[in-house]
Amino acid sequence: MKRASFDSVRDHFFAVARQQWRAWRGYVIFFAFVWVPLRSSVVDYSPVPTGSMNPTILEGDVVWVNKLAYGLRVPLTQIHLATWSEPRRGDIIVVLLPEDQTRLVKRVVGVPGDTIELRDNHLILNSAPVDYGPPTQDYGATIARRFRPHAAFAEEQLAGVSHPVMGLTVVSAPHRNAGPVTVPLDRYFLMGDSRDNSHDSRVYGFAHREAVLGKAEGVLASLDINDTYLPRWSRFFSALR
C-alpha cells in the first residue's frame, strides 16, 4: 500500500511538472536564449542609486547602456569577439569597480596616454587647463534638497563635450587636487560629475579596458528617491551628455 501511494504521488508530481513546463517553456527559452544574451552583449539598463554623477544623472535614474558601443562580447563573459571603437573623453560609461566588481557609472576624462591633473576641482588635460563656463540651466532645482544650498555648478568643456559638473562647498573634499598622472595603455581615468561626492579614479586608480561594459546613452526612467518617490516624467527617455 505504501509503495502504491508513493508511486501515485511521484506520478502526480511529474505530471504537474510536465504541465508547468509546457505552460512556461516559451518564457524559459526566451529568458535563457534571448533576454540574458541581449542584456549581456547588446543593450542593458542600470539603476543609479547614488549622486556621484549629479547633476547629469540623478539618484533614482535608470540609464540605458549600449553594450555594442565599443565592441561585441561573448554573452555572460568578458571575452571580446570584436572591437570597433574605444571609449572617448567625455563618454559616460558603465564599468566594473576594480575593488569588488560593483557596477559604476562614470565619465571618461582621460584615455591612454593622457596626463591628468586636478587643481581645486579644475581639470588640467595634457598640461592645458580645461575651459569652464557658467551653468546653462538651473541644475540646483533637480538635485537633492540637502545639497542645494551648498552646490556650485559649471559647464566643463571636455574634448568638445560640454557637460555640467558640480562642487559642494561644505564637504571635506580631499580629492580636489590630484595628479599629475599619465594614463597607461588599456586604462582609463574616470570621474563623477559631482566632483566632491564621487568614488572614482582619484580613489581606486585607473579602470581597465576589459572592465568597461558599455556606454550610458540616456535615461529610461527616473524616480525621485530623495524626496517624494514620484516619477520625474521630464527625465523619461532623455539623452545624456
* DSSP calls for 130-148: PEEE--SS-GGGTS-GGGG
CA angle 12, 17, 21 (to 5 degrees): 150
Rounded Cα gap, residues 223 and 54, in angstroms: 15
Instruction: Give the active site residue among 52, 194, 198, 201.
Output: 52
Cell 580631499 found at: 174
Residue 91 contacts residue 85 (beta carbons within 8 Å)? no
Rounded Cα gap, residues 87 and 205, in angstroms: 17
* Range list of β-strands (E), the chain: 43-47, 61-66, 71-73, 80-83, 92-96, 103-110, 115-119, 122-125, 128-129, 131-133, 151-158, 161-168, 178-182, 187-191, 207-208, 212-222, 238-239
- The pLDDT, as a whole number, for residue 103 is 87
Rounded Cα gap, residues 188 and 21, in angstroms: 47
pLDDT by residue for the chain (241 residues), tens only, comes to 445 565 565 666 667 667 776 767 666 665 555 555 556 556 688 899 999 999 999 999 999 999 888 988 777 677 777 788 899 999 999 998 877 778 899 999 999 999 999 998 999 999 999 999 999 999 999 999 888 999 999 999 998 889 999 999 876 677 888 889 999 999 999 999 999 989 999 999 999 998 999 999 999 999 999 888 899 999 999 999 8
Tell me if residue 222 is catalytic.
no
Strand, helix or coil for residue 34: helix
Tell me if residue 52 is catalytic.
yes
Its sign, for the CA torsion 195, 200, 201, 203, is positive
Instruction: Give the active site residue among 106, 194, 201, 215.
Output: 106
**Residues whose CB is less than 8 angstroms from the CB of residue 141 and which lie 6 or more positions away in sequence, other chains included:** none
Nearest to 94 by CA among 59, 54, 53: 53
Nearest to 95 by CA among 16, 226, 191: 191
- The pLDDT, as a whole number, for residue 87 is 96
Cell of 69: 558601443
Residue 202 contacts residue 191 (beta carbons within 8 Å)? yes
Query: Could you tell me the strand order of the sheet in which 122-125 lies?
Result: 128-129, 122-125, 115-119, 178-182
